[in-house]
Amino acid sequence: MSDNIPLELQELIINKLPVEPLIRFRTVCKARKSLIDSSDFIRNHIKQQNQQHLLVKYQDAELKYVSIPDNDTDTFPQNTASVTVPQLVVNMHRHEITIDSSHGLLCLFGYFDRKAIIWNPSIRKAVDVALHLLDRDVEEMSAIFLGFGVCVGTRDPKIVKIRIEGKEGVVPWQVEVFTLSTRVWRSAYSSNLPSKFVRFGGEQMVVDGVVYWQVNGDVRDRANGEGGYGNLIVSFDLTSEEFGEVKLPVRLANTPCGLCMFKPRESLAVIEGLLEDSKLVYHVWVMKDGVPKLFEKLFTISGHTPDGSLVSSVLGFRKAGEALVELQAHPFSIRTLATYEPYSKAINNLGVSGRHISVYSYTETLLLLDQPDITN
């Protein structure tokens, strides 16, 4: 592989070659190397590599996963395929888990297993990571919070483990970071560890190499002392390993309604679900240009559809911008996955019905290819 090709492009190029030559790509014949080095080859593979998928997890008679190519609107959602789930992931199904995705990888956290699993559905490979939790951590799970993401510059998966003890301002956070390339837990690079006590909601998003958690804590404006206890967002830069705060608009900081986060088109979004005039609505607020505190309302999703179904929750967004929602004909009915175009209110049933539906967006990648196979 040419040293002149950036690492990011090398991965994209390799992604389209047969699996066997990939393992020994340093010995590729001169003819193939000439082809790889050509500008046309690079240009074509850059165009083809952006295949995004929706990984749908749901409970039918049993727990199932399906993958839907998130391609152009004319052919979506054709070619839905079942997903081969590694045994490491299967073994965690009976435990409470949290999943997040970054750069084509998904991470599952099993508190009672005391480990995390990093899974690449594109190549059907998973690796496990011991979390080194103490007995009291498992018994009092609210004291430990976890995050996951892939570092943009190094393409190295990282897991961050946060332990918060005591009351606000008494004990600084204890933070450890695991890097897959070294398989070692260590202290975070940065020393700017927060000292305030917050309550994590268990939800995270990774946008452009930064992990975000929506938490409850002190939202007081230090300039004028206004505010108090409410909603805010804690950030963690995967490169510098520094923490930060994202202030929400006053309306979102003080709302009694539940908030959830998503990343439509790789932008951090906060969704506010509430009743207005006795009707359920979801307001979608997006952080503009990555500037903290500069949120604007993008659109509103009506909870009541033209056919009488109820949008019981928002699960994510397609690459094209349509919302992925869960529909119910009545409160006790089986739920259905659908897309919802917020402006036209057009609904497209995706053919997946069941309980506990979750959707995760991922892009094809070869990350984890160099990791040893684990079958247990």
Q: Compare 290 and 238 and report the one with higher pLDDT.
A: 238
Amino acid at site 165: E
How confident is the model over 344-368, as a mean pLDDT?
A: 91
- In one letter, which amino acid is 223? A
**106 CB-side CA count, 13 A:** 29
Q: What percent of the chain has pLDDT over 70?
A: 78
Report pLDDT digits (tens) over 177-209. Answer: 999 999 999 999 988 888 777 888 767 999 999
How far apart CA 212 and CA 194 sit, in angstroms, is: 14
In this predicted structure, what is the pLDDT of residue 198? 81
Pairwise CA distance, residues 77 & 88, whole Å:
29
Region of 142 (left: φ > 0; alpha: ψ -120 to 50; beta: rest) is alpha
Q: How confident is the model at residue 316 (pLDDT cuts 50, 70, 90)?
A: very high
Instruction: Give strand ranges (E) for 125-242.
Output: 125-130, 144-150, 157-163, 174-179, 184-187, 199-207, 210-218, 229-237
- Residue 26 has φ and ψ, to the nearest 5°, of -70, -15
| Per-residue pLDDT reduced to its tens digit, 156-171 | 999 999 988 765 545 6
Give 265-310 pLDDT, tens digit per residue. Answer: 888 999 999 998 888 999 999 998 756 568 899 999 999 888 888 9
Give me the residue label for tokens 């439509």: 264
- Distance, CA of 262 to CA of 203 (rounded, Å): 10
Going by C-alpha positions, the residue among 376, 299, 307 that lies closest to residue 342 is: 299
**Can you give the pLDDT at residue 29?**
40
Cβ count near 303 (within 10 Å): 20
Whole-prediction pTM value?
0.81
* Per-residue pLDDT, 167: 56
* Residue 176 pLDDT > 90: yes
